[in-house]
Each structure stands twice: as structure tokens, then as C-alpha cells.
């Protein structure tokens, strides 16, 4: 019953904001448009369809806001005007009552808040779609930030994901490009990350891992997790101080080197992606501060991206190909990775990529738009039957976040010159002598138990196994000889029987 009411509300919101217009526009046959045109003409909409789509998602609630944020990275699924508008979605949700937050904490630990913390501020300092944050003081005087999960989120998310999956199934069946774009897999990927956000112990583990990756880093600081005050519904971590990255005026007043800060942001991103294959995938301005010492401060670790070795090496080839303007390298990498069909003509694919990428170079951030580039690349992908990779959706989202941060912070930044040296050093570490040494070091622990066994293994291969082989061969030949002897005896008996029959006939 709840799902039925939720579905009816979604339909009502869609009609209220005129989103049925999108369905009619996407119908290749035009039958829906002919049926719906009279109904649409009865309503008047002053706002463009992109604005109405964004407002409809905001009305439907935080889960649809998050899905809209992810869809904004999939320029192949949406018209450009809608994708650009969805990129403006902000995960800003009114807080839930403080009494509910306190009840959640006390239920999680079985103790009153007054015993858990020396002080607890009931007024939340931040509120997002799945949780909100309160400041507190731990026993001993350490300042902390306490993140508390919203009540009853699992049920709401489960129903909304089921509806999104049903909608994605309709897209797959009704849209000519539906199967290639794999919308159900995109929804599944979104649901997986959303499910992860509902377990604050997982977020605490993400935070701890990222802190360990950047421990003592001159670029990035991550809060410490206070594990004794963490459960699936409550996460307690070090309280961080800093200036929001979006307040460039305050950063300048504090004396921060803005160009250096922008370059550091690019290096942090590429370090997370290529060195660690573990990256913060929700880098909007509300989650990034700048500390007094000039280091970045990252918050909110509910959405983290990971890459396997194959994806990471492929992406490194692609980025280096862009920075070196080696479009043939990019085209061949797509074919070798199986992301476009094996029969694709590399020269044609190379020419199409060059058309998109060449106008981008020698331009500052202020004149670049990753969104537009992605849109054009997806258009090329459709032409060459590119197979969509759902595991890279978070990376696309992060790239768009970085574009927004870069525009706010230092529009004059030359992204290519900043990132190229880092990627070249990383590739050298992967394929050169340094990469060989790193591989040997990583394999050493696995080799250590085997080394003492080498003499025995050599003896087995050179002495014991040959002897066993000879013995097995002798036994096999003896068995074969016995088998042939039996067949010969049977043949002789058969011949004698035939001869006896013939002699008996002659004597009759």
C-alpha cells in the first residue's frame, strides 16, 4: 500500500511539473505525443523543462535528489539542458527533530547521551539526505562531530529504489538505446552506494582508510574516527575546523595561496584515483574545507569510489592520451579494453575523438566544461556502439564536482599542465623499473613460505618426478602388453574353433 501511494505521488509530482512532456518527446513513434499534446496544452509552464525537472526531484525528496545528481553525470541519458540543470542539485535537506537524533543515539548504545558525551549540542550543524551532524565533546575534552542516521530511511529507500528500477526497465524496453545504456545497472549501482550510506560503520571504515592513505600528507587531512562511539546508526569522529572551499573571499583574507590550493586539489584527486584506487566520490563544496595550515579537509565519506587494476590502467592510458594529444592511443585503449566492438576502425574512432578533444587544450578552467565534453564523447560513443561502464559513473560524478570546485576556486588553472606530470610519474612507476621493484615487493610475502621448499621442489621435478614418470610408463607398457596378449589368445581360440567346425563338416 505504501508503494502504491508513493507511486501515485510520483505521478502527481511529474504531472504538476510537466515531466510527461519528456516521455512524449522520447517516444520515437510519436503516438504518445499525439495523445498527450491536448493534455499538455491545457497547462502553462513558465520555467524551462530542465528547471522543472530539477524542482520535481527536489519535491520528491532526498533519494530522488541523489539520483538526479548521478544522472547529471550521464549526459548520454539526458538532453543537455536537463543534464546541466540537474548538476545544480544540492543535497540540502531540512533537519529532523533533535529528540529523534538523541533517541537514536541512546538506542544504539543503551546509555543516555549525558553519559556518552561530556557535552552534546542538540542543534544540528549540517543535515543531508540520510543523516545529520551534531557537535559534541567526548570524555576527556576532545571535540567531536556526531553523525546520526535519519529514522526509517531503509524502508523509504527500498521502495524508491524499486520504483526507479521499474522505470529503468521501461526505458530499456521502450528506448532504442535502452539496452546499450544499461539504465537498470545504473540504478543498481546507485542503490548499492546508497545502501552503503545507510551503514555508518562502513562510512567510518571509509574515513579511516582514507585517513591512513593520506596520513601526514601536506595536501589533505582526514578526521580521526572514535570507534568506541560508532555503530551502524551513529558515527563519531574528530571535529574539524576550516573555511568552506566555496568561500574564496575568506580564503584570500586568511592569506591562502589560491593557485597553489587549486593545483593541490587536482593532485589530491589523481592521487586518490591512480595511487590508491579509492576516492572520495561526493566532493561538492559542502564537504570540502581548507584548514588554517592550507591543507584540504574532507568530510562525509558515505560515497567512496573504487577501481580495479584494469579500469585504473585503462583510465591512465586515456588521461595520458588526452594530455599528450595521442588520440590513436585512446582509440586503441577502448578497443583493447572491449568497451567498443573489436571490429571498430581505430582510425575513424581516433578522428572522432580528436574532433572533441582538440578544442579543449590551452584553455583555462573558466573556458572549459567537462559536462559539454562528456556530452560530445557520449555522442561519439553512441555512434561506435560504446558499452556503458556503470562502475565509472561515480568517477564521472567526481569529475563534474571537481569542475565546479575549480571554477569557484581558481578559473585560470591549467588542468592539463597540472595533471600531466603527475600521471606521467605514476605511469613510470607502473611500467618501468620502479614498477618492477614494487611488484617484487608486493609478491615477496607470498614467495617467503615457498623459498625454503625450493630444493625439495627442484628434486621432485628433476629426480623424483622423472623416476615416477618412468615407472608409470613401464607399468603402462606392461599393462598394454598383457592386454595385447589376451587379445592374441582370444584370436587363436577363435581360429581353432572355426577350424574345428570346418573339419567336422568335411567329415560328415
- Is the pLDDT at 31 greater than 90? The verdict is no
* Count of CA atoms in the C-beta half-sphere (13 A) of 90: 8
DSSP 8-state code for residue 388: P
pLDDT of residue 111: 93
pLDDT of residue 208: 97
Backbone angle region of 368, left / alpha / beta, with phi > 0 → left and psi within -120 to 50 → alpha: beta
DSSP 8-state code for residue 1: -
Nearest-5° Cα angle at 477, 476 to 482: 100
pLDDT of residue 119: 96
Helix (H, G, I), strand (E, B) or coil at 208: helix
Q: Poorest-confidence range of 23-27, 277-281, 362-366, 385-389?
A: 23-27
Which residues neighbour 159 within 8 Å (Cβ) at sequence distance 6 or greater? 2, 3, 6
More confident call, 289 vs 160: 289
Q: Nearest to residue 234, comparing CAs of 151, 152, 149, 154?
A: 149
* Contact of 418 with 268, CB cutoff 8 Å: no
pLDDT tens per residue, range 176-234: 555 656 677 777 777 777 777 889 999 999 999 999 999 999 999 999 999 999 999 99
More confident call, 166 vs 239: 239
pLDDT of residue 101: 95
pLDDT of residue 432: 55
3-state secondary structure 281-350: CCCCHHHEEECCCCCEEECCCCCEEECCHHHHHHHHHHHHHHHCCCHHHHHHHHHHHCCCCCCCCHHHHH
Q: Mean pLDDT, to the nearest integer, of 380-394?
A: 68
pLDDT tens per residue, range 481-504: 777 777 667 766 766 676 666 667
- Is the pLDDT at 265 greater than 70? The verdict is yes
- 33 pLDDT tier (thresholds 50, 70, 90): very low
Which residues neighbour 258 within 8 Å (Cβ) at sequence distance 6 or greater? 248, 251, 252, 409, 410
Q: Mean pLDDT, to the nearest integer, of 255-276?
A: 89
Highest mean pLDDT among 235-244, 371-380, 422-431: 235-244
pLDDT of residue 459: 59
| Domain spanning 94-127+130-158+180-239, CATH architecture | 2-Layer Sandwich (3.30)
DSSP symbols for 38-91 = HHHHTS---S-HHHHHHHHHHHH-HHHHHHHHHHTT-TTTS-HHHHHHHTT---
Highest mean pLDDT among 136-145, 186-195, 301-310: 136-145
Q: Mean pLDDT, to the nearest integer, of 122-148?
A: 93
More confident call, 316 vs 100: 100
pLDDT of residue 35: 47
Highest mean pLDDT among 45-59, 395-409, 444-458: 45-59
pLDDT of residue 32: 45
Q: Mean pLDDT, to the nearest integer, of 155-173?
A: 74
- Is the pLDDT at 289 greater than 90? The verdict is yes
- Mean pLDDT, rounded, of the chain: 78
pLDDT of residue 36: 47
pLDDT of residue 173: 67
Give how far Cα 226 sits from Cα of 211, 223, 237, 305, 494, Å: 13, 9, 5, 23, 91
DSSP symbols for 270-281 = HIIIIIISEEES
Helix (H, G, I), strand (E, B) or coil at 164: helix
Q: What are the residue numbers of the active site?
A: 282
Give how far Cα 310 sits from Cα of 204, 227, 274, 394, Å: 27, 34, 11, 17
pLDDT of residue 221: 96
DSSP 8-state code for residue 268: H
pTM of the model: 0.71
Highest mean pLDDT among 26-30, 170-174, 344-348, 421-425: 344-348
- 298 pLDDT tier (thresholds 50, 70, 90): very high
Q: Mean pLDDT, to the nearest integer, of 420-429?
A: 74
- Is the pLDDT at 34 greater than 60? The verdict is no
More confident call, 450 vs 64: 64
Q: Nearest to residue 378, comparing CAs of 77, 76, 123, 23?
A: 76
Amino acid at each position: 500500500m505504501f508503494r502504491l501511494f508513493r507511486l501515485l505521488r510520483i505521478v502527481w509530482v511529474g504531472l504538476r511539473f510537466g515531466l510527461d512532456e519528456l516521455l512524449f518527446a522520447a517516444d520515437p513513434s510519436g503516438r504518445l505525443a499525439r495523445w498527450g499534446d491536448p493534455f499538455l496544452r491545457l497547462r502553462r509552464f513558465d520555467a524551462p523543462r530542465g528547471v522543472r525537472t530539477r524542482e520535481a526531484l527536489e519535491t520528491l525528496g532526498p533519494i530522488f535528489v541523489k539520483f538526479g545528481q548521478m544522472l547529471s553525470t550521464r549526459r548520454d541519458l539526458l538532453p543537455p539542458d536537463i543534464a546541466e540543470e540537474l548538476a545544480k542539485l544540492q543535497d540540502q535537506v531540512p533537519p529532523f527533530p533533535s529528540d529523534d537524533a538523541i533517541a537514536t543515539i541512546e538506542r544504539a548504545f543503551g546509555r543516555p547521551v549525558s553519559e556518552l558525551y561530556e557535552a552534546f549540542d542538540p542543534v544540528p550543524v549540517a543535515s543531508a539526505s540520510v543523516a545529520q551532524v551534531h557537535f559534541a565533546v567526548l570524555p576527556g575534552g576532545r571535540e567531536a562531530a556526531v553523525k546520526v542516521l535519519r529514522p526509517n530511511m531503509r524502508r523509504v529507500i527500498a521502495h524508491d529504489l524499486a520504483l526507479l528500477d521499474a522505470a529503468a526497465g521501461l526505458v530499456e524496453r521502450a528506448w532504442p538505446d535502452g539496452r546499450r545504456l544499461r539504465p537498470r545497472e545504473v540504478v543498481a549501482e546507485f542503490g548499492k552506494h546508497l545502501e552503503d550510506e545507510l551503514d555508518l560503520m562502513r562510512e567510518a571504515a571509509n574515513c579511516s582508510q582514507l585517513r591512513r592513505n593520506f596520513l601526514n600528507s601536506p595536501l589533505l587531512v582526514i578526521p580521526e574516527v572514535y570507534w568506541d562511539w560508532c555503530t551502524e546508526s551513529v558515527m563519531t569522529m574528530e571535529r574539524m575546523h576550516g573555511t568552506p572551499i566555496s568561500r574564496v573571499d575568506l580564503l584570500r583574507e586568511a592569506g591562502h595561496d589560491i593557485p597553489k590550493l587549486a593545483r593541490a586539489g587536482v593532485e589530491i584527486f589523481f592521487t586518490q584515483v591512480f595511487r590508491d584506487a579509492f576516492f572520495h566520490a561526493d566532493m561538492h563544496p559542502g564537504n570540502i574545507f581548507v584548514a588554517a595550515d592550507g591543507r584540504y579537509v574532507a568530510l562525509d565519506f558515505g560515497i567512496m569510489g573504487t577501481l580495479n587494476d584494469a579500469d585504473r590502467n585503462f583510465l591512465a592510458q586515456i588521461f595520458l592520451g588526452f594530455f599528450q594529444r595521442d588520440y590513436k592511443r585512446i582509440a586503441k585503449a577502448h578497443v583493447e579494453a572491449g568497451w567498443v566492438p573489436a571490429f571498430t576502425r581505430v582510425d575513424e574512432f581516433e578522428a572522432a575523438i580528436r574532433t572533441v578533444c582538440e578544442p579543449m587544450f590551452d584553455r583555462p578552467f573558466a573556458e572549459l566544461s567537462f559536462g559539454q565534453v562528456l556530452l560530445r564523447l557520449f555522442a561519439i560513443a553512441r555512434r561506435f556502439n560504446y558499452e556503458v561502464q556503470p562502475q565509472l559513473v561515480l568517477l564521472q560524478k567526481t569529475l563534474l564536482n571537481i569542475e565546479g570546485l575549480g571554477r569557484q576556486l581558481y578559473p585560470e588553472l591549467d588542468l592539463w599542465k597540472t595533471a600531466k606530470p603527475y600521471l606521467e610519474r605514476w605511469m613510470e612507476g607502473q611500467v618501468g623499473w620502479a614498477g618492477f621493484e614494487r611488484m617484487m615487493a608486493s609478491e615477496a610475502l607470498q614467495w617467503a613460505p615457498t623459498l625454503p621448499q625450493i630444493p625439495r621442489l627442484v628434486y621432485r621435478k628433476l629426480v623424483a618426478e622423472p623416476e615416477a614418470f618412468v615407472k608409470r610408463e613401464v607399468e603402462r607398457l606392461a599393462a598394454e602388453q598383457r592386454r595385447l596378449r589376451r587379445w592374441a589368445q582370444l584370436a587363436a581360440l577363435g581360429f581353432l574353433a572355426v577350424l574345428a567346425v570346418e573339419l567336422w563338416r568335411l567329415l560328415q
